Chains A and B, each alone.
Chain A
Amino acid sequence: MAMLTCKEVLANLSNYIDEEGSAELRRALEDHISWCRRCRVVFDTTEKAVKIVLDVEPFEVPLAVSARLYTRLEEVLSES
């Protein structure tokens, strides 16, 4: 595969993180980031950003919001 430009590398960043794309494309991306510091940093930090987001503790529905949902559902479920 021909050498990739930084722009092409960036365009494929997300797919790379999701482990998509051909083996050949992945090799070409890895080759590029082995010598291009900027793209390497962008790859590495984007992967870290996605991981940080994923690792954040699960979000809870506020109790009052949840309580009001069940009250409204109760009305609907008891309609004849």
Chain B
Amino acid sequence: MNEYAKVPDAGGEDDLALIDLVMAGDRRAFEPLVRKHERRVFRVALAVLGNVEDAEEAMQDAFIKAYRHLDQFRGESRFTTWLTRIAVNEALQKRQARKDSVSLDEAPDVESKSLPGRFEPWTSNPEKLYGKQEIRQIVEGAIQALPPIYRETLVLRDIEEMSAEEAAEALGITIPALKSRLLRARLLLRESLGSHFEEPRPLPTRILDSAKRLRNMMKVMAGTAGR
């Protein structure tokens, strides 16, 4: 840990101070900036790319690009937003270059799949059903399973807690487009988490359902027997 690293930061003022130092020739001041933002940059790259190896490369390239173009940061947006935008761009370029890449808009059936299909309430205490580590694995798995454009939107908004404006800027899309992706992303996530967090249904409902199934089965059997 070095002398720059321990300063608390609410609105990104420390980022600005560090940037000024780098611009004034103190290159070492770039390192605490990286320490502060590496988790987010990696998370975002991973969200776009879906695998650790590519995300690592995108993260390295993003920080180097940010360092070399630091003079272009004008402070109109927060440094976090500016840097996240660079990370998203690096990751998107990598995704497009990848041979097996699925183009951005090719997300067949997402429209219909993200319509709610599960209507059972969830438990109020997921911690009672699963350990922390288990919940983390379930959530990670569900996020990784999202189509990329929904995954990156969800990560920026609901994990990195960027505002809609910041996330839209970082992804280079409009705010309405961001909001519409976020809705889909959340609905898809809800569907996939549902199997883990739904409350076990009360016995009477289950018995009724079984009775219905049995009745239907008997009808079908009666129908075929008559032929």
Contacts and interface: CB of A to CB of B under 8 A. Distances in A.
Interface of A: 10-11, 13-15, 17-18, 37-38, 41-42, 44-46, 48-50, 52-54, 56-62, 65-66, 68-70, 72-73, 76-77
Contacts of B31: 70, 73, 77
A49 B189 CA distance: 7
Interface in B179-216: 179, 182-183, 186-187, 189-190, 193-194, 197
A73 B59 CA distance: 11
A13 B63 contact: no
Contacts of A54: 158-159, 161
Given A44-B122, A52-B126, A77 B139 contact: no
B116 A18 contact: no
Given A45-B190, A56-B135, A65-B52, A77 B158 contact: no
Contacts, number: 107
A52 B135 contact: yes
Contact of B193 (A14, A42, A49, A76): A49
A14 B121 contact: no
B43 interface: yes
B71 interface: no
A56 B139 contact: yes
B67 A76 contact: yes
B190 A42 contact: yes
A79 to B, nearest CB: 9
Given A18-B164, A69-B38, A77 B27 contact: yes
Contact of A50 (B59, B179, B186): B186
A61 B39 CA distance: 6
A15 B179 contact: yes
Interface in B120-161: 120-122, 126, 132, 135-136, 139-140, 143, 154, 158-159, 161
B28 interface: yes
A13 B64 contact: no
What are the 3 A-B residue pairs with the smallest beta carbon separation, nearest first? A14-B183, A49-B190, A61-B42
Contacts of B139: 52-53, 56
B122 A77 contact: no
A73 B67 CA distance: 9
B42 A13 contact: no
Contacts of A37: 119
Contacts of A10: 115-116, 187
B158 A72 contact: no
Q: Which of A42, A48, A49, A62 has the most CB of B within 10 A?
A: A49
B110 interface: no
B158 A53 contact: yes
